[in-house]
Chain A
Amino acid sequence: MSSPSASAATGWNTVIGLEVHCQLATRTKLFCACAAEFGAPPNTRVCPLCLGAPGALPVLNQGAVALALRAALALGCTPDPASRFERKHYFYCDLPKGYQISQFARPLARGGGLELASGKFVRLQRIHMEEDAGKAIHDRGAHTLVDLNRAGVPLIEIVSEADLSGAEEAHEYLTRLKETLQFAGVSECDMERGSLRCDVNVSLHRPGTPWGTRAELKNLNSFKNVVAAIEHERARQRVELEAGRRVRQETRLWDPERAETRTLRSKENEQDYRYFPDPDLPPLVLDAATIARVRAELPELPAARRARWQRDFGLTPYDAGVLSASRALADFFEESARLSQRPKEAANWLANDVAAALAAARLDTPADLHLTPARLAQLIALVADGTLHIGGARSVLKALFTRAATPAELVAELGLAQVRDTAAIDDWCRVAIAANARAAADARAGELKALGALIGPVMKASGGRANPAAVREALLRLLREERA
């Protein structure tokens, strides 16, 4: 879709820029001490400032500034040493002051960007800080209800240059952006809870001609919707242009139910926001020492971690990708690798069995399954010292998800310790050979597949506790001896 061949096929280039709003993970709001929490009863996390009460004044939350600055530095932006808060005016029932405190002429930071897997660098235009509006609820009877808990919650808006050329690139950009913000501890980036929101600008043009008129798409509440809306909008604009009509500059709303975009407001009806510097707030001064301190405190970002894991631990790019899906998982992996001293094994367990269990249970992190890095490391050690074979280890892992016991305790309780008594293994093997004469003959003739038919009964007889390698060895030895 976003590949050059697609544009060659349709004859149109797609130009996409994204505006991402991201809620900063602060305890309190941007300009007051009210809790910035999700899901509280309506209008219970409000103060005179949140209510737009006359005479109430904003006081900047320095914790929010630190997180915004961290985001800017994680994305390679250049902070403005004296950015400014401005008032953006419009009337709506969820905007208590009649203006939103935002940044305009002097945003917090400019420049920076993110690299995609293809090596393409998506540039950022700017990052600015602003407060969120409240929430208008229209579907509860005759009246519109207003909940101001969200009013004043700290956001950053991250504006990309129009460097993206398709829905897949947009999706990858969002994925990289989200993981960077999460790893940097800037935001939870939970689209369902609204802590990550995305508007998309889309336009089409013929290769070699100037850019077309763009439409802005809103109400995209999942990455899936972003992709679907871009695809739909591309098709719509293409139909317009190929019919000789013009694309109007407008804001369009994505309707996920009908899977289409429709006009919200045209450019002629756009607000005049009358930005001007908020006289209640002095310029936001960031001195070199502050910037240096926040830069020094930046945690290692996902791309750097993946590279290090591949280099130092020998992980595959796929495993590194799976394990860096969230900061919690990445941290879990690193701790498990450290405790077990076997990073490859830790990676295998997490990327396969644990990941599958999480997916099946629709959970996010190993901690949600009651797993700890220490327990995983203990499990790895039990396999490494031969106490458990892989099948037994899987059973122990499964038990760990529901039990508070240690892996060693579970091994004992479940009787899963491997049988190392060669006499016992030899006995099971002899029984198997005797009971499967045909397979034994084929195996003697060198057919390896037939050997498998002998291993199965032995494992069954041992209750799964015999080491498969030892069984194989014993079978081969016994078959040889019989022939001799």
Chain B
Amino acid sequence: MSSAELDASAMRGAHARGERSVRLTIEDTLARIARIEPTLGALSAVLADSARTRADELDAARANGFEPGALFGVPVVLKANLCQTGVETNCGSRVLAGWRPPYTATVVERLLAAGAVPVAVAHMDEFAMGSSGENSAFGRARNPWDLARTPGGSSSGPAAAVAAGLVPLALGSDTGGSVRQPAALCGIAGFKPSYGRLSRHGLVAFGSSLDQVGPLARSVRDVELALEVLSGFDERDSTSLRAAPVARSARTSLAGLRVGVPQEYFGAGLDARVRATIETALGELEALGARRVPVSLPSTALAIPCYYVLATAEAASNLARFDGVRYGPRVDGDGSLEGMQAATRGAGFGAEVKRRILLGTFVLSHGYAEAWYGKALAVRARLRAEFEAAFAAVELIVSPTAPTLAFRLGEKSADPLSMYLSDALTVPASLAGLPALSVPAGFARDGASELAVGLQLVGPFGADAEVLAAGRLFEGATRHHQRRPALAAS
């Protein structure tokens, strides 16, 4: 059986029992990458040598009686904003071209400790700013279901790599939907944990109060496995939750589960095919015993403007460090310090990043901060309160993950506002810090293409395991996650 058909837990089992060597899996994976990646364009670097070395080490360790970890021998892909010592971590930006971190992110350390094998670094929108992957300075990933379309973003490469069957598991990051939206557009599972659930130590910051690392996999079952490995308090991140690792929920049925459907998520901007697919999915949930409850989140429309104030304010601050002084390519400019910093930043950042730095600088500037940043904080508090009120009556809130099907590459690049609206349905849970999962809800036709639609499940703060359990039961009943794009079979 080819590694492309195994999920992470099955693969780990085969390695642990000695039925298959890790080296064989890695060779298999590298061969698939060599075959598919030229068409897909998801990866910025393939770590063939280190993956082979590591595979041999793991095989030797097993032979010597070491207890195999929970991801033993599982090949993984990492978004290019997760630090690994010595591995180029460029965040899709020229300003970090060639930068090799002197340290490793906590989530990557935990993957390694569980026996996972990083095989590649994946493309992303520059500094995770974008919803299509097109804002990368190094390469634009394609959607495996239709190569002319976007895989979504900003975790474009990780989502495309998993959907194309290169690896069963990838790590992305989600600030306003950057794991969930590409997961939805690529027909896979993608999870943004409760804020603080996964350590941000070693995740290059975009909007620090929103950023969460998130696993992407072909099954929710694998997401649960990854979360168990990755979660748990990290003293190196002061916003890390003081909680034990998330154990898989024992729930085996959706019977009696109250599922809230917010009317505000089904407004005019929602594509009719997406709406129809989600309606079908809601029917399937009811068939599984869930009770559909209408709920209201009145401030939903304010979420996008609120997000683009807070996230850009934090981004402008977080990106101030890229000044050419200590690392990254330096452009001398007029030779003065200010000239060098301006020239380095001018040449290093792409248009969208510059736009957001300007926005973020403006909303915090003297005389405007209260009207913009202050007001946005108030909106955020209100969104949070509305979610809390809704969760008094329901266990989960469900909606489409993205308002449209995967759009064509280039279709929205000239229209940042319409691009921002791609995140309209994912941003509210980010602002509220809530756990949110996108799981394949079904497929819709657009011309000749079959395109994936994602169902978003949002739970109360801390209810990560419950959200994942509901997603797992839904996917187990619907089996949408077992469909593969033609590219994956090649």
Contact = CB atoms under 8 A, between A and B. Distances in A.
Asked if A and B are interacting partners, one says: yes
A155 B338 CA distance: 27
Given A91-B320, A96-B325, 13 more contacts: A53-B101, A53-B102, A54-B99, A54-B204, A54-B205, A55-B203, A55-B205, A59-B235, A89-B320, A93-B323, A276-B369, A279-B209, A281-B238
Contacts of B202: 55-56
The residue in B99, B205, B316 that gathers the most chain A C-beta atoms within 10 A of its C-beta is B205
Contact of A96 (B81, B326, B337): B326
A93 B205 CA distance: 21
Contacts of A99: 317, 320
Interface string A93-125: 100111100000000000000000000000000
B323 A98 contact: yes
Interface in A271-296: 272, 274-276, 279-282
B351 to A, nearest CB: 21
A55 B366 contact: no
A481 B331 CA distance: 103
B478 interface: no
Contacts of A351: none
A104 to B, nearest CB: 11
A87 B361 CA distance: 13
Nearest to A270: B366
Interface in A51-103: 51-60, 87, 89, 91-93, 96-99
A70 B253 CA distance: 57
Nearest to A281: B238
A235 B268 CA distance: 71
A146 interface: yes
Interface residues of A, number: 30
- The listed residue with most A CB atoms (<10 A of its CB), out of B89, B201, B323, is B323
24 contacts: A52-B326, A54-B81, A54-B99, A54-B205, A54-B321, A55-B82, A55-B101, A55-B201, A55-B202, A89-B317, A91-B323, A93-B337, A96-B326, A97-B321, A98-B317, A98-B321, A274-B366, A276-B373, A279-B208, A279-B239, A280-B208, A280-B239, A281-B238, A282-B239
A402 interface: no
Contacts of B364: 274-276
B341 interface: yes
A92 B323 CA distance: 9
Contacts of A282: 238-239
Looking at B205, B321, B365, the one whose CB has the most chain A CB atoms below 10 A away is B321
Given A48-B101, A53-B103, A279-B208, A58 B369 contact: no
Contacts of B81: 54-55
Contact of A274 (B209, B327, B369): B369
A97 B317 CA distance: 9
A144 interface: yes
A57 B200 contact: yes
Given A58-B238, A99-B320, A144-B337, A276 B313 contact: yes
A259 to B, nearest CB: 29
Nearest to A92: B337
B325 A146 contact: yes
Contacts of A97: 320-321
Contacts of B261: none
A51 B102 CA distance: 10
B359 to A, nearest CB: 13
A278 to B, nearest CB: 8
A96 B321 contact: yes
Residue of A48, A280, A282 with most chain B CB atoms under a 10 A cut-off: A280
A48 B321 contact: no
A276 B235 CA distance: 24
Interface string A133-144: 000000000001
Contacts of B238: 57-60, 280-282
Contacts of B373: 276
A59 B317 contact: no
A274 B361 contact: yes
Nearest to B235: A59
Interface string B309-336: 0000110110111110111000000000
Contacts, number: 103
Interface residues of B, number: 46
Contacts of A144: 337
A58 B102 CA distance: 16
Of the candidates B239, B325, B337, the one having the most CB atoms from chain A within 10 angstroms of its own CB is B325
Chain A interface, DSSP helix/strand/loop, else mixed: loop
Given A97-B320, A99-B317, A279-B314, A51 B326 contact: yes
B236 interface: yes
B425 interface: no
A275 B369 CA distance: 9
A299 B93 CA distance: 54
B237 interface: yes
A481 to B, nearest CB: 89
Contacts of A275: 364
B89 to A, nearest CB: 7
Nearest to A59: B238
B236 to A, nearest CB: 6
B179 interface: no
Nearest to B341: A91
Interface string B181-212: 00000000000000000001111110111000
Contacts of A146: 325-326
B264 to A, nearest CB: 27
Most A CB contacts (10 A, CB to CB) among B205, B326, B366 go to B326
Nearest to B373: A276
B102 to A, nearest CB: 6
A279 to B, nearest CB: 4
A273 B489 CA distance: 55
A274 B374 CA distance: 12
A57 B239 CA distance: 10
A54 B102 contact: no
Contacts of A280: 205, 208, 238-239
6 nearest interchain CB pairs? A98-B320, A279-B209, A279-B208, A274-B364, A54-B204, A52-B321
A267 B326 CA distance: 30
Contacts of A60: 238
Nearest to A98: B320
A52 B204 CA distance: 11
Given A92-B337, A274-B361, A55 B320 contact: no
A281 B89 CA distance: 24
Nearest to B207: A279
A56 B203 CA distance: 8
Interface in B76-98: 81-83, 89, 91, 96
Given A57-B201, A57-B236, A57-B237, A93 B325 contact: yes
A87 B209 CA distance: 14
B418 to A, nearest CB: 28
Nearest to B211: A279
Contacts of B96: 54
B373 to A, nearest CB: 6
Contact of B91 (A51, A54, A276): A54
Contacts of A96: 321, 325-326
A97 B101 CA distance: 16
Contacts of B317: 87, 89, 98-99, 274, 276
Interface centre among A48, A55, A57, A60 (most CB of B within 10 A): A55
Contacts of A87: 317
A54 B93 CA distance: 12
A125 to B, nearest CB: 21
A97 B319 CA distance: 8
A56 B320 CA distance: 14
Nearest to B96: A54
A59 B237 CA distance: 7
A202 B417 CA distance: 51
B105 interface: yes
Contacts of A51: 102, 326-327
Contacts of B319: 98
A53 B205 CA distance: 11
